[in-house]
A and B are shown apart, each in its own frame.
Chain A
Amino acid sequence: MGRIHVLSENVANKIAAGEVVERPASVVKELLENSLDAGARRIRINVEGGGRKLIQIIDDGCGMSRDDALLAFERHATSKIRTAEDLLNVGTLGFRGEALPSIASVSRLRLETHATEEASGSVVEIAGGKIVRVEEAGLPFGTSIAVRDLFFNIPARRKFLKAESTELSHIASVVTNYALAHPEMHFELHSAVNAIIVAPPVASHSERIYQIVGKETLDALLPIAAQIALDRTGLPQPPPWSRKYEDEEEEDTGPTDPGELRLHGFVSKPEVQKLNRNSIFVFVNGRLVRDRLVQHAITEAYRNIIPPTVFPVVLLFLEMPTAEVDVNVHPSKTEVRFRQQSFLHNFVRDSIRAALMKARPIPQFVAEMRANPTASPSLTPGAKMKSDERAETTVVDELGVTQANQEFALHAQSIPAFTQSLGFQDGFSVEANAAIPVARFGPQTFGSHVAEDNCSTPIPEELAPDDTPVLATLKPLGQVRDSFILAVNHEGLWIIDQHVAHERVLFERVLRQRQTEKVEAQRLLMPLVIELTPSQQAAYIEISDELVRNGFEVEPFGTRTIAIKTAPAALESTQIEHLVHELLEEFDREEQLLNMEMIGVRIAASIACHAAIKVNTPLESSKMEWLLKELAKTQSPMSCPHGRPVVLRYSLKDIQKAFKRI
């Protein structure tokens, strides 16, 4: 008796279910995609018990005949493709023919369908993969699938399900995603108790966003649209192993028009900052994907506009000829492969960046500051309404604290005889507390940053008269903790982070000097010898030319060792080693997809950062005036090369409001 045997179909289906049907939300996704592929205009989803008890999807699509309805539950039965060649040109969301049998094998399923050309509909009931009942019935056109008791026969999987509310939220996000992608359709999602999503068909994506996420978010989004002809000439040859594949395919398709790559959607303004990537939605040919390449392109586009650890809200629809993308990567089809990866990456990045620049997000940024003087980095569109409140409570809080301190001090003075050493501890602890906010700025991690646009894109004319004079009228009052400059003008009170302000000034100067090839460099008394790791060595070779253009003179010095002989003049000699290591590590980490200009910009940002005055540095008033004047002259004075804000403003109105004068 052989040890190897073929699994029964039922077992095979359950295994496939493990890949495709992970949780109730994946059932919703598969069925929803079926409905969309069936050309439905109206889709209603009912969910009970977080999808465990019931998932019902009702559509008005093309429906199925009785034979088709039965065949659909066979493994690898599909209407969507026929031959292997079709796999290269998948135009539908599904194509594997696995979803229905998989779902049917782990639940009690009831299918009601009525094809438009048939006289009557049919009902199919399946429990745990076995057909229980098939009969004819009078039904409306379209298909309704009810999935009950999901995973009733797989206790292991059932145990792994999260709380009802969690599963429901996953389902809601799946439906939301598809609803956003298809504004022309009617979507409804109902739980047992309430309607979660009701979105009648609308004309445009922006209206759909309004329906689903509300005005707040829509206001913070910028529309984006771009297209480019897919032209393969001039692109680097794909590596040998995939080249062969391409040749074969070329023969099949012949010299057809390569088509074009279209992109549209919405990207958020810089003031919207999310702490994770969950608000980035990318659709490729109508399919929701989580693609690292596109994610990276988005991050690149926002680099130096928002801080490195936060993420924007992005809704991106990519459309390209189906031959350009391979969706047959993973059963759940959330991963895709693009044939022209770097081309697509750069297209996405540049389009988003162009949109951000065109919309001039910086004045908006100021507006955001106005609305929200506390400028929390985790600003979310939802939190915006509360920001005023929050600002006030903060003020009150701070007042409370100071009052407490004052009272404390009074106590200590009025009854000094009994406090003894306690008095010192108090003084000590107050000091320590007060030092915390400053300490937070100490160990800054200067991640990667690019400000290409700030330098290469000419700043729109309107910006200058609109923005610059405001900063130029500032009069410095003094410093908070030797770190933040307080300044006033007719608009109110301004707080300027001296380090980032100076950084911005230097950054633009370094870039200017580099463009005119007039970098000032200081020779070192003794060459600085730095040892590199192998990967740093590789990164060094990559960027060595750019280092030279930025005023470094570096020579190889034996294996994996370099000697720095000259460094940019603005740097203290003691910072050079740190800076070079930081640069190399950074390029080491993200070796891919960098062009020379970006390397130059990053080096400039690093130099500026290291050369800028630090926090905890007392400044004379003349120096503060100089800094503000210089800042006013910069092209984008509102955010530093790393994307952090430079200035905060308490408008007169805010101040009056806080004092309850208006």
Chain B
Amino acid sequence: MEITVSKFDLLKELTATQGVVERKTTIPILSHFLFEAADDKLSITATDLDLGLRTSCPAKVKKEGACTIPARKLYDYVKLLPDGDISIKALENHWVNIRSGRSNTKMVGMARSNFPALPVFPTAGVIKIPAAVLRTMIAKTIFAISSEESRYTLNGALMVLKPESITMVATDGHRLAHIEKAHEAFPDVSDMRTLVPKKAMAELNTLLNSTEADVVEFAKDESTLFFRIGGRVLTSRQLTGQFPNFEAVLPRDNNKFVTVRCEDISSAIQRVAQFADERSGAIKLKLDKGGITVSSSSAETGESEDQIEATYAADPVVIGFNSQYLLDFLKAATGGEVRFEFKDAQSAGQLRPEGNGDAEFKYRYIVMPMRI
């Protein structure tokens, strides 16, 4: 293999793949990039076996071929090179020669045959999802995914595609984030449910933030999910298992409402939470005619209270919550007003953004109370 590639192009693609390269390597080959040169194109592949990313950049190919290069070292080295062209040449015994201007480096890779084969993007059943929609949905649900490994179906978000809508749901067993976008067109699907692992969600999020493409092509086979974003293809192992029946927990008869500004309640909770138990972050919300009173107390640190004026007509109620759960949502809701909907101190509370911005998204957040 012998190619010439511009530093700018190469570095861009190497940066995009960094998140996938295995850091704490147990299998040495996974800390390598696979470089393949053909048809005036350099394809770069990285995988940690759960996730795989394949990307490419234009290159002058003198001699076609493939090689593997230690990922981290190459990335650090290329970053330091001056702008200009870089020539990469595979030598004998897996050695690779990298030249740029007056810099000349040799690195040793591993046999190309060791590199795991990535699944190939299917040709049929490809669904196009608007990138902006997917980006929003990920941002508003990813925080609710459980990071515990034991109940692994909670270790990802559920993506539901219907002919006219897309829904994403994430939960960790205490709270649930649910976002739905209607008026989309997915003609070929009928209620397709996919569990997307948290790691793939995070990687998708970064890829979506650094692309100009406005459509994501999505496909899946029995074991793998595929996302094509511009020239990059992210593959992820699919989570199998039964996502909890989330429809059953969406509250229907919450009859106590109060609407407050997101910033107000968010900063009040942050202040009060300083005096909550470190681990549980327990705070109390009291709703009465005066509005919302946020309070906390702990034997070690003291107690604190914050009041927010708001109109509230129903019977007074006091409900305990984990402050972190509320803050997670308020951060994701990005401003505007938030409507709190409660029933009583034992039942699930529902939060949703009100007014402000895209009403196209139906975003709601269910959070279970605490007994304090």
User: Is B151's CB under 8 angstroms from A525's CB?
Assistant: no
User: Is B25's CB under 8 angstroms from A611's CB?
Assistant: no
**Shortest CB–CB separation between residue B147 and chain A, in angstroms?**
9
* Interface flag for A195 (CB, 8 Å): no
Q: Which 4 A-B pairs have the closest CB atoms?
A: A573-B173, A569-B280, A574-B148, A523-B368
State which of A421, A524, A566 has its C-beta within 8 Å of the C-beta of B108: A421
**Shortest CB–CB separation between residue B198 and chain A, in angstroms?**
13
User: Is B369's CB under 8 angstroms from A574's CB?
Assistant: no
Taking A523-B369, A569-B370, A574-B148 as known contacts, 14 extra A-B pairs with beta carbons closer than 8 A to each other, sorted by chain A number, are A420-B93, A420-B108, A424-B28, A424-B110, A427-B28, A431-B26, A512-B299, A523-B346, A525-B171, A526-B173, A569-B282, A573-B154, A573-B174, A575-B150
Q: With A423-B108, A428-B28, A522-B280 as given contacts, are A551 and B371 in contact (CB-CB < 8 Å)?
A: yes
Chain A positions within 8 Å of B368 at CB level: 522-525
User: Is B279's CB under 8 angstroms from A611's CB?
Assistant: yes
* Interface flag for A173 (CB, 8 Å): no
Chain A positions within 8 Å of B366 at CB level: 525
Contact with A along B227-252 (1 / 0, CB 8 A): 00000000000000000110011000
User: Is B28's CB under 8 angstroms from A521's CB?
Assistant: no
User: Is B370's CB under 8 angstroms from A421's CB?
Assistant: no
- CA of A656 to CA of B172 in the docked complex: distance in angstroms? 51
Name the interface residues of A552-606: CB closer than 8 Å to any CB of B. 553, 566, 569-570, 572-575, 577-578
Contact with B along A417-451 (1 / 0, CB 8 A): 00111011101100110000000000000000000
User: Is B279's CB under 8 angstroms from A522's CB?
Assistant: no
Dominant SS at the B interface? loop
- CA of A526 to CA of B366 in the docked complex: distance in angstroms? 11
Nearest residue in A to B173 (C-beta to C-beta)?
A573
Chain A positions within 8 Å of B299 at CB level: 512
State which of B173, B244, B249, B280 has its C-beta within 8 Å of the C-beta of A520: B280
User: Is B279's CB under 8 angstroms from A569's CB?
Assistant: yes
* Interface flag for A506 (CB, 8 Å): yes
15 contacts between A and B (CB under 8 A): A416-B108, A420-B108, A421-B28, A424-B110, A425-B28, A431-B26, A521-B370, A521-B371, A525-B176, A553-B371, A570-B279, A570-B280, A573-B173, A574-B172, A574-B173
* Interface flag for A626 (CB, 8 Å): yes
Chain B positions within 8 Å of A521 at CB level: 370-371
User: Is B279's CB under 8 angstroms from A506's CB?
Assistant: yes
Chain A positions within 8 Å of B93 at CB level: 420
Name the interface residues of A14-30: CB closer than 8 Å to any CB of B. none
Name the interface residues of A377-433: CB closer than 8 Å to any CB of B. 416, 419-421, 423-425, 427-428, 431-432
User: Is A520's CB under 8 angstroms from B94's CB?
Assistant: no
Contact with A along B73-96 (1 / 0, CB 8 A): 000000000000000000001100
* Interface flag for B372 (CB, 8 Å): yes
Name the interface residues of A524-566: CB closer than 8 Å to any CB of B. 524-526, 528, 551, 553, 566
Contact with A along B154-179 (1 / 0, CB 8 A): 10000000000000000111111000
Q: With A428-B25, A569-B279 as given contacts, are A522 and B148 in contact (CB-CB < 8 Å)?
A: no
User: Is A574's CB under 8 angstroms from B154's CB?
Assistant: yes
In this complex, which of A423, A432, A521, A528 has the most chain B Cβ atoms within 10 angstroms of its Cβ? A521
User: Is B174's CB under 8 angstroms from A525's CB?
Assistant: yes
- CA of A53 to CA of B282 in the docked complex: distance in angstroms? 77
- CA of A156 to CA of B178 in the docked complex: distance in angstroms? 78
- CA of A524 to CA of B151 in the docked complex: distance in angstroms? 14
Chain A positions within 8 Å of B176 at CB level: 525
User: Is A522's CB under 8 angstroms from B150's CB?
Assistant: no
- CA of A517 to CA of B279 in the docked complex: distance in angstroms? 18
**Shortest CB–CB separation between residue A528 and chain B, in angstroms?**
8
State which of A512, A553, A566, A575 has its C-beta within 8 Å of the C-beta of B148: A575
Nearest residue in A to B321 (C-beta to C-beta)?
A522
- CA of A569 to CA of B321 in the docked complex: distance in angstroms? 10
Contact with A along B285-324 (1 / 0, CB 8 A): 0000000000000010000000000000000000010100
